[in-house]
Structure 1
């Protein structure tokens, strides 16, 4: 029997390994009690075998290898780190930084949405649309994200929640088995509900209710993680063709290694989104404070700030020149761990609204797999609603109605990207080529169609 890609991904959810991305490398811990450092090590000239020999020679051990990146994560005695750094086979070494859910996240349970038996879905209240969903017009569109894969890189997702359906996932935290991506914190389930809670008449509904949600657990049950685990999640999304990579998390330091992972995913056609952070702002329309967390500041990541229900910038929302979009983020109702519902605030809440809109537009692109990231990004950033009209909200408030109307109207500047297409002057532009135009454009469209047909035969 031949399994489809989606069936294979579901097998991963059951604990079957589809790819070795981010898998711990089996090794005995060092016998010495010498202090150690956990670092990324990048090989010189891509010679990974030589690099691993060097790690072993300095008394270190390899913790993680990746499918799509040649660098590795190692633990090495601190007193031999300089020796590792100076080895001819090593290009550079970088500390494995920490990441976590944004500060100040404090959910409030919504008891009125539940019956006496939380496990009995029939006792859950009738479905409600969060105010944010209505504010961005996602309740007025026909698209529902069908066929689009969304990776929620977070604390996991509750797989048996009455208002959620989880297509699969992977646990990269080092706690529990790879197939254990259950959310025992609540943050990931809340984020997942905003992006794609089911339109099933119960509890709440998400922005893209028919999108395929993947629980990529890169934060532990306390909401903490490492950059190496975040990269493992990105790596898994690349290997499994998960188009949208949503990261409601952040770290205090920039990382060249994380940047490499982001740039690789972006170049492969994936769209990455991140919460801007909850570092606050002066409230005067200025972005000089630069309070954003990483990776939201990376140019290939869509960074999302948060607003209150009265269309003002939330006091907790980070600001900075790298903010791309604004979205609802305060007192938003969504799903929560324990088969419950909660109200919460933060840029981590704003981010999945944009992720959901991206899924709606991606669906309209009719692209199976990565490749439409530039077209989708352009669409949702060029169809915004001006609200703050300052650097605080980047381009403006994400607008689901306008984004989908632009796609429907077939505006050449927002047209379907296709994979690997170019503009008529030969420059790469994400494939935004008009349907009607020169003979060269027609040939390009025809070739793209044939390639899509051939790829379809292999699915």
Structure 2
């Protein structure tokens, strides 16, 4: 069984990533018909097919042959597009999904959402107290992910601003790329509507920026374009629960480093805070001198590590008491990447007692519970996905830094709502100043500390 949380694998050519050690999760694949190009800033290449404009950063995404790109007088530099693949880890694959009617969750005095008692993450962050100040009204958060189900009864998605960056023709504000993005979106902004769960910022404006497709791997260029789009629609936060590790520092290439950092710096300058999953490889990012984790180690990233309890609602330590913890919610998750200068904040992402899986105990309660949307696809005679036949709107448990990042994104939306004049750096500073490293641990897993929403407000 995999002990890694949900993550993505960067797929690059051996030429770009030559020298990676045997057995790496980074494998080879590179587009030969699609390129990220740097322009002179005086217009787009008219002799190439432009897939994505990226106004503000002098980059664009184009299709064509490499020889056409080389000949274009509007292009000053380029690199082939590269691709990202989502992976389902064992701990998440083993977790159940449920309909509301399948869970006997009592009402809560802290919140009127019936499943709030299952949300240890919101309890640890004292979200109901934060909501006495604000629920995030007046803010906007983009979810750069596999798609957000606009039809989920616990989500309100801005369908007019939502975009499909994949070109697969399956639209936006739907879970065409899978269930992951809907879970992430619920952690940020599930509605305070008396049913289901609660998000950290239920009053925020959620926008789906879908970059994963069921027909193909995700494009790194699409992700860059989605970040620029987020900034250009005045998003206060962009959540990226995606990434790749290990990438050799010398292998990523000057061009992609420049493109990534320029895009992320542009977003920050425009007021968009980037909350990014730190990764689930149990890796020390501080001391892996030859490697880098992307995009969470890019410029201006708020890199989020994951924490979680062992024994939420079940007797993990065998003392006969299911109301205590074998380890508390702010303790580092077993899978999370770490490193003092590589991590900005620690936040609830879920943990798991791997030895308890399959024993009949509800070990999955230590994962993060929130919205899910599971699509059924239409297919042609060749097995190609041509549409979405139906979607099961439900709830379930997942773990990963993918779940930690949106808790920070929601907290950032609350801080921005309470302080409308704050820029992205000021929002980040408020979150960092309020955070503390839990007793018994050091900054290695937390950067500035464990997320403290109430004090940040």
Same-fold call, TM > 0.5? yes
**1:62-101 equivalent positions in 2, closer than 5 A:** 62-78=50-66, 80=67, 84-85=69-70, 89-101=74-86
Residue among 80, 92, 100 paired with 1:106 = 92
Which residue does the alignment assign to 1:299?
A: 299
More RCO (CA 8 Å, sep 6+):
2
TM superposition shift of 1:103: 6.1
**1:171-186 equivalent positions in 2, closer than 5 A:** 171-176=164-169, 179-184=171-176, 185-186=178-179
Cα separation, 2, equivalents of 1:316 and 1:228:
28
Considering only CA atoms, is the larger Rg found in Structure 1 or Structure 2?
1
After superposition, give the CA deviation of every residue in 1:190-214 in whole Å (9 maximum; x if it has no partner).
0011111111221211111111111
Change (3 A) 1:214 1:257: same
Q: Is the 8 A contact 2:269 2:424 kept in 1?
A: no
Cα separation, 2, equivalents of 1:162 and 1:319:
36
Which residue does the alignment assign to 1:265?
A: 267
Q: Secondary structure at the match of 1:48?
A: coil
TM superposition shift of 1:222: 7.1
Residue among 38, 49, 60 paired with 2:34 = 38
Q: Secondary structure at the match of 1:350?
A: helix
Q: Secondary structure at the match of 2:333?
A: coil
TM value normalised by structure 1: 0.69
TM superposition shift of 1:343: 0.3
> What RMSD in Å do the two structures reach over aligned CA positions?
2.7
Change (3 A) 1:363 1:102: farther
TM superposition shift of 1:102: 6.5
Cα separation, 1, equivalents of 2:129 and 2:228:
35
Which residue does the alignment assign to 1:435?
A: none
Cα separation, 2, equivalents of 1:223 and 1:280:
28
TM superposition shift of 1:145: 0.7
Q: Is residue 2:321 matched to residue 1:335? A: no
Residue among 317, 326, 338 paired with 1:319 = 338
After superposition, give the CA deviation of every residue in 1:75-121 in whole Å (9 maximum; x if it has no partner).
3435x37xx458765322122222344762725334263359xxxxx
Which residue does the alignment assign to 2:149?
A: 158
Residue among 177, 181, 201 paired with 2:194 = 201
| Higher helix residue share | 1
Q: Secondary structure at the match of 2:92?
A: coil
TM superposition shift of 1:336: 0.2
After superposition, give the CA deviation of every residue in 1:323-377 in whole Å (9 maximum; x if it has no partner).
100011110100000211010100000000001111111111034xxx6211111
Change (3 A) 1:115 1:134: closer
Cα separation, 1, equivalents of 2:59 and 2:348:
38
> How many pairs are equivalent?
345
TM value normalised by structure 2: 0.69
Q: Secondary structure at the match of 2:116?
A: coil
| Higher strand residue share | 2
Q: Is residue 2:401 matched to residue 1:347? A: yes
Q: Which runs of 5+ in 2 are unaligned?
A: 1-30, 104-112, 310-326, 351-366, 374-391
Which residue does the alignment assign to 1:17?
A: none
